[in-house]
Amino acid sequence: MDLGEVNHQRIKTNGIWLHVVEKGSGPLVLLLHGFPEFWYSWRHQITFLASHGYHVVAPDLRGCGDSDSPLSPSSYTVLHLAGDLVGLLDYFGEQQAFVVGHDWGAVLGWHLSLFRPDRVRGLIAMSTPYYPRDPAAKPIESFTAKFGDGLYISQFQEPGRAERAFARYDYLTVMKKFLLINKTDLLVAPGGMEIIDHLQTPAVLPPWITEEELQVYADKFEESGFTGPLNYYRAMDLNWELCAPWQGAKVTVPTKCIFGDKDVGF
């Protein structure tokens, strides 16, 4: 698709370099992608919002796309990610931004709003609700107890495991399996099976995406690999520990939460 003139740049923030795409002028809107994605997921919204008077910034979040990818999973906590975004706001000289997040981007939007409500004008969270912290149990323990070891989040914990499983497929197939999940594809693999093997590869593409667009994702992940994005899951228990000071705190910024009725998370 034709994005028109977008500006690509790398910005130093919080000790790393983030690649961002920006377009337009006006109030700042941050568009935060999910897994397994990068800025390109917002290609339609970037042009639309810019044409409606907004300064749109869509970063490749740390570990993704053309942004830096620290090696340690402990560098992917919500505190690191929120710090990256505060640095972007400072770089653009903006006190506040509208924040739109999907999937992990929504998790990040919720936590940025929790940690720094002074920097968020409003939040739109897509596909992921705000989960209050359970003081009694770490998330991986809770998820595994509820869904078993076949849950994708549980399988993603061991460094290298998912990467090895994904490597049995070409990158385009991996993208199709994850980006085209439908409601019947529960993200829990049967015993002894990897989640990537369990997910179906659709024979026919849905009308909202083309083979060429999927190939853009495949090419980017062939360059960057999957370890950075998988490290978000590997930091979930560490997030739980680090967020203890916010136990019982509420998100107070104006918020809209959007779900699709066929979203597997719904």
Q: What angle do CA 156, 158, 161 make, to 5 degrees?
A: 75
12 token code pair: 């130093």
C-beta separation of 227 from 233 below 8 A? no
- Interhelix angle 171-179/211-224, rounded to 10 degrees, is 110
Maximum CA pair distance of the chain? 52
pLDDT in tens, the chain (266 residues): 557 789 999 999 999 999 999 999 999 999 999 999 999 999 999 999 999 999 999 999 999 999 999 999 999 999 999 999 999 999 999 999 999 999 999 999 999 999 999 999 999 999 999 989 999 999 999 999 999 999 999 999 999 999 999 999 999 999 999 999 876 667 999 989 999 999 999 999 999 999 999 999 999 999 999 999 999 999 999 999 999 999 999 999 999 999 988 887 77
| DSSP 8-state assignment for residue 189 | P
Beta strands 28-32 and 97-102 are parallel
Give the helix/strand (H/E) hosting 34.
none
C-beta separation of 110 from 123 below 8 A? yes
